Amino acid sequence: MDFFKILGAGAKFNKERFKEDISVFRPAQDAEHQPAPVVDTVPKELDFFGDHGRKKPAQASAVPASQLSGSASQFIAKEDDHAPFKSEAEVAAFLKRHRIKVWGTDVPHPIKSFEMLCKEHGFQPFVLRNLTKFGFAQPTPIQMQAVPVAIHRRDLIANAPTGSGKTLAFLLSILHQVHSEEKQGFRAVVVSPTRELATQIYNHLQNLTTGRRVRVCLMTKASAAQQAQDPALRQKFDILVTTPLRLVHAIQSGEADLAHVRTLVLDEADNLMEAGFLEQVDEILAACTAPGLQISLFSATMPSNVEQMAKTIMKDPVRIIVGTQNTVTEAIDQKLVFVGQEEGKLIELRNMIAGGFKPPCLIFVQSIERAKELFHELVYEGINVEAIHSERTQVQRNRIVQKFRSGELWVLICTELMARGIDFKGVNLVINYDFPQTAQSYIHRIGRTGRAGRPGKAITYFTKDDAPHLKTVVNVMRASGCDVPEWMLKLRNPSKRDKKKAKRAPAARDAISTVPAYDAKRQKHKRQIVEQSKAKKQRLAEAQDAADH
C-alpha cells in the first residue's frame, strides 16, 4: 500500500524541456523559428504502438540550430513567405523547422502561407477571403504539407497532434476540388465517427464556403429521408459530411449515390478502421465507383497495424507526421493522481471543486451508467454540470454541446463519445475520472484541452486496480516530454493480453456513490424510474415538435 501512496505524488510536466513541441500545432509564424527536432525515431521503451525503428524520412536534413532560434520578429509575416521554394535544400530545412516528416515519392512542396494557395495552386479568392474572415492567418504545419499533397490528388496518411488543425487541412483540399459548379451530386465525402464531430466539420465547412454556391450536406435521418423523396435534391449537393452508419444505411436504401465521389476523407481514421466500423468503411469504399478516387486518412494517433491495413486500399500514398508520433502536445500539463480505492476519486474531485478550479472542465468516465452516477453526485455541488452520452436524444446532445460552448455549463461529464475530434475552445481542464482503456484513448481524451496553442491541464485518477495499466499513460507522458519519476518508468508495460483485455472491456468498478451500497442501489432504482419517465416525456415532446413542423 505504501508503494501506491508514493504514486499520489503524481508526475509533473516539465515545460522547459520540451517547449519546442508547441510548434507542431501553432500557426506558421509561431513555429517559424523553433529549434530543430531532436527525436526522429521512437525509442524502444516508448514504442507503445510498435513503431520502433522507423527510418528517418528522406526530406529531413539537418539545419543548424543557430539559424532556427526564435525572436520577437517570428510573429511578423516575412516578405518571402509567399515566394516559391528555390531549392530542395530549402524545402528540407523548412520541413525540419516545422517538425514535418514526409514519406513518399514525388511529394509536392509545402505551402508557406495561405496566399500561396491562390498564387501557386489556383485556389479561388473566396477561400482566402473566408480564411481571413474566420481568423486563419497562417497555416499550421499539417496544413502546410497535407493541403498540397491532397490537391495533387495523392492518397494521404496524415498524423498530427490533437488540436493542430487537421480539419482545415482536409477541408481546404476539398474546396479546391469542388469549386466548379458541376452539379453532379456528391463529389467529396467526409466520414467521421460521431454525429457531434460530423456537425462540427459541417459548420466549419459552412464558414469556409460563405458567399459561394458550394452545397454541403450533413447527412441526418431527416436529410436522408428528404433526398429519398426527391432524388433531384441529391444532384444539388457537392460535399457530404456523415457518420459511417448513417451513410451505409443511405447507400443500402438508395438514398445516397457515391458514383461521382472523387475524394474520400476518413477523419479519426484509426478509429474508423477498428472492428466496429471497418465493415461500414468497406461498404462506403465499394460504393465510391468513380475512377481515380483519392483517399485521405487523418488522425492524431495511427497505430502501425492500422497504417498497414490502410495502405492496402491506397495507391502510392504520401505519409505525413507532424511532431513525434502518438504523443500529446506540450501545451498540456499532465498529471497522474493516486486515489487509493474507487471512492477516493469522488473525495479528490470534491476537494478540487471546493478548492476552486478554472472551468470549463471535461470529465471522462468509462460508461453511460457511470456518467449518470457522477452527474447525480455533482448536481448538488453548486456547479453547472451536465452529462452527455449516447442515451441522450440528439436534441439533448446538441443543446448540451451548445451550452458548453457558450460557457453556460462549467463541467461536462462525458463518455468516450466526446473523446475524439470535438473542438471546444478554451477547455482548461480534462479529468480522466476513470483510467483510459488504451493509449489512444488517453491521447484523444486529454487532447480536448491544449488546442491551437492554448494551454491546458489533464489529471488522470488511478486506483490500485489500475496500477497494472499505469505504464500505458506513463509512456505517453514520457514521450510527450513530462518528467516522470524514475520508478514509474521502471513499471512493467502491460502484456499484450492485458492490453487486449483492457481494450475489449473497461475495468469492473464500484458504483460512483457517497452513500452505502444498499441505499445506493435503492436510489439508483428510483433514479432509473424517474429517468425513464423523463425520457418518455422528451420523446413525446420531440415527436409533437416534428408533427407540428
Interface contacts to ligand ATP, rule CB under 6 A: 27, 136, 138-140, 143, 160, 162-168, 300, 421, 423, 425, 447, 451-452
β-pairing, 100-103 vs 318-322, is antiparallel
Nearer to ligand ATP, 98 or 166 (CB): 166
Task: Give me the least distance between CB of 201 and ligand ATP, in Å please.
Answer: 9
Quote the DSSP letter at residue 331. T
Shortest distance in whole angstroms from residue 480 CB to ligand ATP? 14
Question: How distant is the alpha carbon of residue 92 from its chain centre?
Answer: 28
Count of Cβ atoms closer than 10 Å to residue 249 Cβ: 17
Closer CB to ligand ATP, residue 114 or residue 433?
A: 114
Min dist CB 143 to ligand ATP, Å, is 6
Residues 6 or more apart whose CB falls under 8 angstroms from that of 300 comprise: 159, 160, 161, 162, 164, 166, 326, 443, 444, 447
In the three-class reduction of DSSP (H, G, I as helix; E, B as strand; rest coil), residue 218 is classed as strand
Rg, Å, the chain Cα set: 24
Please give the distance of CA 283 from its chain centroid, rounded to a whole number. 24
Please give the full DSSP string across 375-387, using - where no structure is assigned: HHHHTTTTS-EEE
165 vs 481, beta carbon nearer ligand ATP: 165
Give whichever of 27 and 148 is closer to ligand ATP, judged by the CB atom: 27
Contacts of 235 (CB under 8 A, 6+ apart): 183, 184, 185
Pick the closer one to ligand ATP by CB: 160 or 320. Answer: 160
Which residue lies nearer to ligand ATP by CB, 197 or 219?
197
* Smallest separation (angstroms) from ligand ATP to the CB of 196: 12
For residue 493, the minimal CB distance to ligand ATP (Å) is: 25
The DSSP-derived string for 170-185 is HHHHHHHHH-S---SS
CB of 453 to ligand ATP, least distance (A): 8
| Nearest distance, CB of residue 202 and ligand ATP, angstroms | 13
CB environment 423-449: b (16+ within 10 A), e (fewer): bbeebbbbbbbbbbbbbbbbbbbbbbb
CA–CA separation, 150 and 115 (whole Å): 17
Q: CB-wise, 302 or 378, nearer to ligand ATP?
A: 302
Question: CB of residue 107 vs ligand ATP: minimum separation in angstroms?
Answer: 21
Amino acid at 320: I
CB of 133 to ligand ATP, least distance (A): 13
Give me the least distance between CB of 30 and ligand ATP, in Å please.
9
Instruction: Work out whether strand 12-13 and strand 263-267 pair parallel, antiparallel, or are unpaired.
Output: unpaired
**Is the CB of 21 or the CB of 257 nearer to ligand ATP?**
21
**CB-based contacts of 434: which residues, under 8 Å, 6+ apart?**
364, 365, 366, 370, 461, 506, 507, 509
Tell the burial category of 519 from Cβ atoms under 10 Å away from its Cβ (0-12, 13-18, 19+). Answer: exposed
Looking at the Cβ atoms of 267 and 466, the one nearer to ligand ATP is 267
Rounded to a whole number of angstroms, the minimum distance from the CB of residue 546 to ligand ATP is 31
Closest to ligand ATP by CB, 107 vs 302, is 302
**Minimum CB distance to ligand ATP smaller for 14 or for 438:** 438
Strand partners, 296: 156, 265
* Nearest distance, CB of residue 163 and ligand ATP, angstroms: 4
Q: How many CA atoms are closer than 13 Å to the CA of 135, on its beta-carbon side?
A: 3
Q: Read off the C-alpha cell for 254.
A: 438508395
Residue 284 · residue 123 · CB < 8 Å? no
Can you tell me whether residue 155 is helix, strand or coil? coil
**CA proximity to 54, closest of 324, 339, 386:** 324
Least distance in angstroms from the C-beta of 135 to ligand ATP: 6
Comparing CB distances to ligand ATP, the nearer of 256 and 332 is 332
Of residues 116 and 168, the one with the C-beta less far from ligand ATP: 168
Written as one string, the DSSP assignment of 422-453 is ---TT--EEEESS--SSHHHHHHHHTTSS-TT
Instruction: Give the three cell numbers for residue 324.
Output: 513525434
